[in-house]
Each structure stands twice: as structure tokens, then as C-alpha cells.
Amino acid sequence: MSPTLYDEIPSLDLADFTGSDPAKKKKFIADLGAAYNHIGFVAIRHHYLSDELSERLYGAIKKLFALPEAVKQKYEIAGLAGQRGYIGKGKEHAKGRNTGDLKEFYHVGQTVEDEDPIKKEYPDNVWPTELPEFKEISLEVYKQLERTGVQMLRAIALYLGLPENYFDAKVKHGNSILRPIHYFPIENPDAVPADAVRAAEHGDINLITLLMGASADGLQVLRRDGKWIPITALPDQLVVNVGDMLERLTNKKLKSTIHRVVNPPRQLMNHPRYSIPFFMHPRSEMSLAALPSCVDDEYPKLWDDITAGDFLHQRLKEIGLKK
């Protein structure tokens, strides 16, 4: 069966899933599954992140990235493999490439406030003292995006014929990351490598990614027929896409679609772009072995068994964050 070729990503209403109408819930699950089979991306309305909170975080990160280089570098902590705090310009590259992306970013990770032993796996978050409001806003955004992600994973579980709460325990205190990104202005495009881009084509490592509306165009998704199509998250929507861990778990039934952030036209290279994805990870011990329901004679198992923690370690080395 040839894949459906979308000209834009489907827009779905999460209230149809979380509400009390069984018919709407069933349709949401079917539409989500179809989109994730064919293009791997959807736009979601009525999630848990308010416009006001989103605007506050964008305001804070613009101040954060405007800090002097020497100040930002105080928060780039050796030994953390970029998992908390600041990651400097050009430090990360796409898998299979050596040229660094034209971006800098900041990582906010999971906080564990009870006696869950997984707490010792996570380094403490790194907070810039010059911007005290950043901590409160970031932690609240993290909480609301994680809450939204749990609902998305419940819908995915039902689509896959699993119990609705299949992922709940697997993502409780999962190794998720909130990543404010600054695609910094380039005053002289001739001074950067010819093949340098804001974010080279890649698939995300995690289960699902939830993306707040970006400050400018540039995000593109690779369609099944090889055509790149643009995506813009509207202010009231989150773009939610399948990551490599979920693709692996479902033996590629759900597709981790390749995407990129292209450079603007040369005359606009001196304009910044800001973006805030939330990478939803499970706990490190979760097995990514293909679900039995996703393997048969027609679709033989594609990958060896691996845990989420080992897979993450492998990929961080491939993208240059771990040595």
C-alpha cells in the first residue's frame, strides 16, 4: 500500500482524546495512528501548555542567550555530556556529519522529588544566577509538556493495541529534556562552513518530541516521496513527532521522520530564530525491543534489543555530545 502523502501535517484536538465522548476518542486514536504511520508528525490543540507560559519562557530564553559568551560558558559543565546547562555554538552535529549546527542551546532535565532511586542517575539542573525567573518558568513548562506527552503516549498505546497506561510507569521520572535553542544571527555568511546549517537533517532520539511554536520559519519534514515540506507550529499548537526510540519499539510501524531546520535566505541570516522542543524520554531501564504485535513474517524484526539508556548513550556519542 503506497503511503499517504501529506502536504501539511494533520492538526488534531487533544480534547477529543481526553474528553468524555468515546466516538471522538476513537477517531483521535485512528487519526493519530494514520499520521504517525505516514509522516510521523501531528499538530495538537488543547494541550496543557498555556500561551501565557509559552510567552514567558520565550521572553526568558531571549535574555538567556543575550548574556555575554563568558557568562554563558560558566554554565557549560564538563563531564555532563551536554545533558544539563549550556551547550555552546557548533558543539552538536547531526548523526553522520562532522560540521556543527549553527545553534546554541540550554538543557533542563528531570527533577525527582520523592525517593525514586532513579534520582541518582540524573545530574542536578544548572540554573543561571543572572536570570532567576528562568528556573520557575522552565520547570512549569517542563511539567505541562510532560503532562501532555503522557496523554499522547496513552493514545499511541491504544492505537498499538496496548493497555492505555502502558507507557505511564515507563516515562514516570523519565530522562526527558527541555531544550531552548537559539539559532544565532550570522552577520557574515561567508565566515561559516559552506555546509553549515541551523540543524542538519536528523531523527530525534527519544520516544516523542513536543515542540512549542518557533519564532520563525525554517523547520522542514522529509515526506515519503523525498519532498521536503515546511512546518510551522501555530501559537496555540504543539507539534508532536515520533522519535527513534518509539520507531524502534514499534519495529518502524510508527515512523521517526527525518527533519531539519534550514538556513533563511542569505539576506536574513543576521536574524535569530528561537525554538523550544521537549524531548520525552523513558526511564533508562525501558527495553526498546520490538513489540511482538509489530513483528511478523511480512515485517521481520529490524533491530537488536537494547535499553533506552544504552541507546541514548550510543546516540549522544554519534552526535558529538559524548566522547
Least confident of 78-92, 235-249, 260-274, 288-302: 260-274
- Average pLDDT of the chain is 90
pTM of the model: 0.92
CA distance 44 to 18: 12
pLDDT at 90: 74
118 CB-contact burial (10 Å; exposed 0-12 / middle 13-18 / buried 19+):
middle
Query: How far apart, in whole angstroms, are the C-alpha atoms of residue 178 and residue 184?
Result: 19
Mean pLDDT of the region 215-220: 74
DSSP symbols for 282-310: --TT-B-PPPGGG-SSSS---S---BHHH
Say what the pLDDT of residue 321 is: 73
More confidently predicted of 187 and 38: 38
pLDDT at residue 1, as a whole number = 44
The mean pLDDT value for 150-174 works out to 98
- Please give the average per-residue pLDDT across 207-230, as a whole number: 84
- CATH topology assigned to domain 11-318: Jelly Rolls (2.60.120)
